[in-house]
Amino acid sequence: MKWLAALALALPVVLGSPQGIDVSNYQSDVNWSTVKANGVEFAYIKATEGTSYKNPSFSSQYTGATSAGLIRGSYHFALPDVSSGATQATYFAANGGGWSADGITLPGALDIEYNPYGATCYGLSASAMVAWITDFSNTYHTKTGRYPVIYTTTDWWTTCTGNASGFQNNNPLWIARYSSSIGTLPAGYSYTTFWQFADSGSNGPGDQDLFNGDSAGLARLAKGS
């Protein structure tokens, strides 16, 4: 894909890259004007989890980010032990996870990480987990015309997918690593599109992120061109 290939920049991401934050209902009251004034250019906002949870702050957060002039997108917290990938992708797309080529909407993101409620890998084998993610990704693409960004850690990916390769062909990577460097990436990825490098900071509430590129590249990602 042209826009994906265009982001293949040398690691590590430099601090001059566009800055972002990601928020959930834990950050229900965000002063988006201040966030924008701090230099933040983009935001990811939690929309859904599993097939029964909708972020009650999503609408106000998404509208606030839009009004402040940020490029914004939404993310879904995966619960692979609850229902199929297709079911959750459909739920996400219908409840804030949609996409349009308006130049300000980032592709939806699949947040898949260690289970906060139970079994480390949600009780799935590595092959079953790969199948679940593939099901989510393909269904989201069918619903929206875009493949989702995958948010994860290299440790989780190695543990729960067997360090599967292949997703780099369609899915931009959003790696979480709270360190001064990105470190090793999941198999197949030679770069990350987003880097969540801290869980707090001066730019605004929520987790702190960087985009691997420049502002024009961020706009291209949003546009899908």
pLDDT per position as a tens digit, 41-86? 999 999 999 999 999 999 999 999 999 999 999 999 999 999 999 9
| Residue 14 confidence (pLDDT) | 55
Task: Report yes or no on 70 lying in a domain.
Answer: yes
What CATH number is given to the structural domain containing 176?
Answer: 3.20.20.80
Distance CA 49, CA 91 (A): 9
Low-confidence ranges of the chain (pLDDT < 70): 1-15
| Residue 225 confidence (pLDDT) | 78
CB 38 within 8 A of CB 204: yes
Task: Report yes or no on 176 lying in a domain.
Answer: yes
Other CB atoms within 10 A of residue 119 CB: 10
Q: What single letter denotes the amino acid at residue 135? A: D
Catalytic residue among 22, 41, 207, 209: 22
Active site residue 111: yes
Alpha-carbon torsion 32, 34, 36, 40, what sign?
negative
| Residue 202 confidence (pLDDT) | 87
Catalytic residue among 41, 111, 207, 209: 111
Tokens representing residue 70 in the block: 């940020």
Task: Report yes or no on 215 lying in a domain.
Answer: yes
| Residue 15 confidence (pLDDT) | 55
Active site residue 22: yes
Task: Report yes or no on 211 lying in a domain.
Answer: yes
Question: How many separate domains does the chain show?
Answer: 1
Q: What single letter denotes the amino acid at residue 129? A: M
Task: Report yes or no on 15 lying in a domain.
Answer: no
| Residue 126 confidence (pLDDT) | 98
Task: Report yes or no on 202 lying in a domain.
Answer: yes
Catalytic residue among 81, 113, 135, 155: 113
Helix (H, G, I), strand (E, B) or coil at 87: helix
Task: Report yes or no on 90 lying in a domain.
Answer: yes
| Residue 59 confidence (pLDDT) | 97
- Exposure string for 78-102, b = 16+ CB within 10 A, e = fewer: bbbeeeebbebbbbbbebbbbbeee
The range of the structural domain enclosing residue 73 comes to 2-9+20-223
Task: Report yes or no on 14 lying in a domain.
Answer: no
| Residue 203 confidence (pLDDT) | 87
Active site residue 102: no
